[in-house]
Structure 1
Amino acid sequence: MEFTIILIPFILLTFGTVEYGRISWIREQMNDVAITVARCMGVLQSACAVDGQYSQEKTVALVASMARARSVPLAADNIELNRGTGCGAAADLSEVRIDFSIVSTVPIVMTLLSGGLPLSANACFPNQDTGN
């Protein structure tokens, strides 16, 4: 009898801890995606540029593929890319903002998050002078 009373909270605590770790890992991975893509935009790497010119389409595709590789499906409207903008007090930066939701794999534990937990990742990188 006592074991049953302790078992349910213990299982909830265990699965809740695992789910929290998964959400934290995904959030950190999406921050890494934002940083990588901001750098790609800033230095005009081939994954974000065509013939040395920034390409919005290639960059959105890069963000989506990197997120998909991390098991986070993104629609194009969840990705905001700004080149030549300011972040804080700095100017002429490439900015990446990714808004995404994580749906819990343990809905019994996370019933409050039934619509998904809204998260975002944001990164800026200075634009490099290409000499053109």
Structure 2
Amino acid sequence: MTALRTFRAGLRNERGSVAVEFAFIALPLLLLLGGSIEIGRYVWTRLALQDATSTGARCLGLQLAPCFDAETMDLTGTLSVVRDQGTDWAIVISDSSITAEDAGACQGVNDFARVGIRHRFTYVLTILPDTWIDVEACFPVMPSE
């Protein structure tokens, strides 16, 4: 009889149940937190790249000084404008990932300045594969006077 009583008392014992419940919840909670941070980083990076391409395309389309030199496109100046805009957002953009055209076509329409960036986004969580972010911006080319 005492063995049966001891067994029943052990079933009613709830010491440590909070620790076990926390152990069940801890991993999904950490994955949710880490995933939220990674999604935030991805969105931040995409917005930064889009802003950098828009600024670069505007600089080319309006033929502003850093992007144009004596009515010809200055690729070095354009790359520096795009890079600097990315740096303002704390994003490092390499020159090899930037493409710039001073008179290209955007969605079938000619005479647009076009800047594109193909950026490799690396997740902090190593279980996720790297992702490529492709952004492009166009701005109409203003006729020179």
Q: Tell me how far apart the structure 1 counterparts of residues 29 and 104 of structure 2 sit (CA, whole Å).
A: 49
After TM superposition, give the deviation of residue 82 of structure 1 in Å. Answer: 1.0
Which whole-Å deviations, capped at 9, do the CAs of 1:46-65 have from their partners, x for residues lacking one? 22122443211110122122
1:70 maps to what in 2? 89
2:128 is matched with: 112
Please report how far the alpha carbon of residue 69 of structure 1 lies from its aligned counterpart in structure 2 after TM superposition: 3.0
CA distance in 2, matches of 1:24, 1:75: 19
Query: Given that residues 55 and 82 in structure 2 are in contact (C-alpha distance below 8 angstroms), is that contact kept between their aligned partners in structure 1?
Result: no
Question: Residues 37-87 of structure 1: CA distance to partner in whole angstroms, max 9, x if unpaired?
Answer: 101100011221224432111101221222233232222221111111111
Q: What is the alpha-carbon distance in structure 1 between the residues aligned to residue 119 and residue 90 of structure 2? A: 12
Residue 79 (structure 1) aligned with residue 102 (structure 2): no
Structure 1 CA distance, aligned partners of 2:143 and 2:82? Answer: 23
Partner SS state of residue 128, structure 2: helix
Task: Quote the residue 2:52 is aligned against.
Answer: 33
Runs of 4+ in 1 over 6 A off after TM superposition: none
Q: TM-score, normalised by structure 1?
A: 0.87
- Bigger Cα Rg: 2
CA distance in 2: counterparts of 1:46 and 1:102, whole angstroms: 31
Picking from 84, 90, 115, the partner of 1:96 is 115
Q: Which has the higher contact order (CA 8 A, sep 6+)?
A: 1
| 2:122 partner letter | V
Q: Distance between the aligned counterparts of 2:122 and 2:89, measured in 1?
A: 14
- Once residues 127 and 88 of structure 2 are traced to their aligned partners in structure 1, the CA distance between those partners, rounded to angstroms, is 27
TM-score calculated relative to the size of structure 2: 0.80
Which structure 2 residue ranges, 5 or more long, are not aligned?
A: 1-19
Q: Which residue of the partner structure matches residue 2 of structure 1?
A: 21
Between the aligned partners of 1:28 and 1:67, the Cα distance in structure 2 is 10
Q: Aligned residues: percent identity?
A: 25
Counterpart CA distance in 2 for 1:104 and 1:112 is 6
